[in-house]
Amino acid sequence: ALPPYSAVTDQRLDKPEPHNWLSYRGNYAGWGYSPLSQITPENVGKLTLAWQYSTGMTEGHQSPPMVNNGYMYITTPNNQVIAMEAATGKELWRYKKAIPEELQQLHPTNRGVALYGDRVYLATTDANLVALDATTGKELWRTQVADWRKGYYMTLAPLAAKGKIMIGSSGGEYGIRGFVAAFDAETGKEAWRTYTIPAPGEPGGDTWPGDTYKHGGGSVWITGTYDADTNIAYWGVGNAGPWMPDTRAGDNLYANSTIALDVDTGKLKGYHQYHHNDAWDWDEVSAPLLIDMPYKGRNIKSLVHAGRNGYLWVLDREKGGKIGFVDAWPFVEQNVFKSIDPKTGRPTYDPAHTPGTGKTVNFCPSLWGGKDWPPEAYNPKTGLLYIPANNHLCSELTGEPTKYQEGQLYIGVAIQGILTNVRMGEKAKKSVGEVQAWDIKTGKQVWTHTYPEMNWGPLLTTGGNLLFGGGTNDREFRAFDATSGKQLWQFPAPSGVTGVPSSFEVDGEQYIAVQAGWGVDAQRMQGAFDAVLPHKTVVPQGGVLMVFKLSR
Ligand SMILES: O=C(O)c1cc(C(=O)O)c2c(n1)C(=O)C(=O)c1cc(C(=O)O)[nH]c1-2
Ligand SMILES: [Ca+2]
């Protein structure tokens, strides 16, 4: 039997108990790290299914199973939340937010709930924020955040802190004007909204010509990280739109950036733009990990981000929310950046690999980047950062003129061209997907595990010196020795595993939980591989939550 539900407080989110998984990445710093250590390299071979559960949905199952003292919550595509008993899989309740039939989903997925107080918060495809009672699933309030008819949709797990529920909106391919917004956790009333694309007259407004800021993209579709000491949340901002850079000459702040927002007011305190005047659809939406570490003889409060642009970035959380540049290294083959300014981190581009209207251009990494949304993980015991990467992969895109029409795709590349964008040289034909381990204090890649084709596998690392991840089209879910990279265990899942794994403990037993459920852009990349490879690969769809423990 379950204990009474325990309210999720700011203190608990900031210092989560090792046996729980209370937020998207397990802590505010974004680590994807569980301190639990019962499962180890020595015994992981005995990991076996404790229970499993079919969600009844197809498409991309990406949310982590979140656990609060024996209560588990997952989300699925089509705005479904399922609450379960974490140890047994017994269903407690299901909630489903119906969405309008006319709504075409470009990215049919949902990345999870936020747990806060005695409530569960869900951001939906039709751009609503919903509060549910954690024990009954009853809808307590619902707030329309933006207009889905104008191309706004939400796929991310909300961020909860200081009495607020924060979200951002997708729509970078529909000509939205991106934002991060905060809502009162109690009432659902909007507290603030900060646009990622400044208007004329605002700081950065002059980096957008004419009216282009109105449809400039800058979507926000991955949960931010949070520094409770300074009350600043760090959010990643997506691509500038439309894709062709000559349609919006200028730096296009704050697209493709990390932005620092004060959680009380939403005020922009600082930013770092990873690449200006985006031409490659390299959304830099993954929030940077907060890691305090020694670096070249001084202690820095760093922000670490494995960029879709193929560089691994180390930044500095400076006083007042400003973000300083520290260092950057390519982690995959990259032919666009000719140099990086050692002071500011600003790259210069090779025009031969920069798309434009009326041009056909080849560039690496592909438009899905060195790493798309699947999150990195950081293990404070090994000191290593783990990256789910796609290496050696390139794209070819032809830019064409496009016109903004409300609710229509606003890209500037024909859909057929996007679906067949991938180009593979000799190296890519040998291997593409990688799990990389980096010592970020020195900028050295310590080990690499390669796969024949793609890796779309979010990572989990543990105090037991393990690293877990799926993401391959052979449907395997794997465990590695976190120090050496040696593969120790694998399990054939019912579908490809693009879910964020989590770990928790109930009654003295450690569990590893993850959703299988291939779809969205992992599936699209497979289609693009199939278009250039001599063989085709069918990855079956259908969501299944798998929960593992050690067999006795
Ligand atoms: O610009 C946007 O608003 C936006 C949203 C999303 C999303 O919400 O999932 C993706 C992307 N862009 C994108 O560029 C991308 O590669 C992507 C992959 C996936 C996925 O779930 O596999 N979503 C998205
Ligand atoms: Ca995008």
Q: What value does the mean pLDDT take over residues 380-404? A: 98
| Strands 109-110 and 164-168, sheet pairing | unpaired
The pLDDT tens digits for 476-495 are 999 999 999 999 999 999 99
Tokens matching residue 297 = 């003889």
* Lowest pLDDT segment from 101-105, 192-196, 410-414: 101-105
Q: Which atom of ligand 1 is found nearest the CA of 368?
A: 16
Distances (CA, A) of 387 to 21, 23, 271, 446: 21, 20, 23, 12
Asked whether the beta carbons of 372 and 454 are under 8 A apart, the reply is no
* Ligand 2 geometric centre to CA of 66 (Å): 26
Give dist(CA 2, CA 263) in Å, integer.
34
The pLDDT tens digits for 171-196 are 999 999 999 999 999 999 999 999 99
pLDDT for the residue 201: 96
* Ligand 1 geometric centre to CA of 107 (Å): 6
In DSSP terms, which residues pair with 293 in a beta bridge? 300
Pocket test for ligand 1, best of 521, 523, 524, 539 (most atoms within 8 A of CB): 521
In DSSP terms, which residues pair with 515 in a beta bridge? 545
Q: What value does the mean pLDDT take over residues 293-316? A: 97
Give dist(CA 5, CA 537) in Å, integer.
44
Beta strands in 207-307 (DSSP E): 225-227, 232-236, 257-262, 268-273, 289-295, 298-306
The pLDDT tens digits for 349-385 are 999 999 999 999 999 999 999 999 999 999 999 999 9
Give dist(CA 21, CA 32) in Å, integer.
10
Predicted confidence (pLDDT) at residue 345 exceeds the cutoff of 90: yes
pLDDT for the residue 552: 83
Q: Which atom of ligand 1 is found nearest the CA of 176?
A: 3
Angle at 424 between CA 346 and CA 535, to 5 degrees: 145
Q: What is the pTM of this model?
A: 0.98
Sign of CA dihedral 495, 467, 457, 98: positive
Pocket test for ligand 1, best of 256, 372, 410, 539 (most atoms within 8 A of CB): 372
* CB environment 376-395: b (16+ within 10 A), e (fewer): bbbbeebbbbbbbbbbbbbb
Domain 10-25+38-60+70-93+110-550, what fold?
A: Methanol Dehydrogenase; Chain A (2.140.10)
* Catalytic-role residue among 281, 283, 327, 372: 281
* Owner of token pair 């400076």: 318
Which residues are CB-contacts of 80 (< 8 A; sequence separation ≥ 6)? 55, 57, 94, 95, 96, 97, 110
Q: What percentage of the chain reaches a pLDDT higher than 90?
A: 100
Give dist(CA 438, CA 179) in Å, integer.
32
Q: State yes or no: is 281 an active-site residue.
A: yes
